[in-house]
Structure 1
């Protein structure tokens, strides 16, 4: 029998603003976090996940260079591209891995730029083996 998988995910309400100063954006729903969001933990119930990806809601991103960190490691490629207003971006999990048990997602802004943006929700998706 071929390997069988089922989809699973974790929805993480981040609701944080990144930037050099707190007053740069009018986002009263977001907590100011500076250069990096807090770590948002989620649990993967099994080993052997495949086809993982991250979806991110971001508001008013002005430059390239910001990163999505998974378990402390940066994903590869452009993690959070610039766009005015809201965007919904997807990035494959490469350069890092999901592991069985507790995992953590964090967004880090490029501190060399004078860019402020807000992060809404982050969703981590994966396929896990069916036993």
Structure 2
């Protein structure tokens, strides 16, 4: 079966932290310990080889999670780095499905870390008809 690559862009612009004043980012909406569950569509059945590219600002701690379709990805998801970073993570521990999927980021509330999630791109391969 022939497959092609496809993707969906998910725009967050959300600040995760204990307080809305944790970072000077007035353009980001404060959401507390987790982002909204952003929906995106996969226009084909049987998506495979999924991965997420995530843009994050000022992450200071390990332990935050990328959650796809209600399930956290396995392993550590977002490494600490000052300023803006772009991180890629394989979708493991859950599956993408044809139709509606969701993407959410959860902050490790055991830390005092505050960071912004900018955008994410979810990639997959799908069958070509």
**What is the TM-score when the length of structure 1 is the normalising length?**
0.97
Output the CA distance in 1 between the equivalents of 2:46 and 2:99: 12
Q: CA deviation at 1:126?
A: 0.3
Residue 20 of structure 1 pairs with residue 18 of structure 2: yes
> What CA distance in whole angstroms lies between the structure 2 residues aligned with 1:40 and 1:69?
10
2:121 to 98, 123, 131: 123
CA distance in 2 between counterparts of 1:80 and 1:20 reads 18
Q: CA RMSD in A?
A: 0.6
TM-score normalised over the length of structure 2: 0.98
Q: Which runs of 5+ in 2 are unaligned?
A: none
SS of 1:121 mapped into structure 2: strand
Q: Report the counterpart of residue 101 of structure 2 in structure 1.
A: 103
Unaligned ranges ≥5, structure 1: none
Counterparts of 1:5 and 1:28, CA distance in 2: 42
2:8 is paired with a residue whose SS is strand
By how many angstroms is 1:94 displaced? 0.3
The equivalent of 2:80 in structure 1 is: 82
Task: Give CA-to-partner distance per residue, 1:52-98, whole Å, 9 cap, x none.
Answer: 10010000001000000000000011111101111000000000100
Measure, in 2, the Cα distance between the counterparts of 1:93 and 1:117: 22
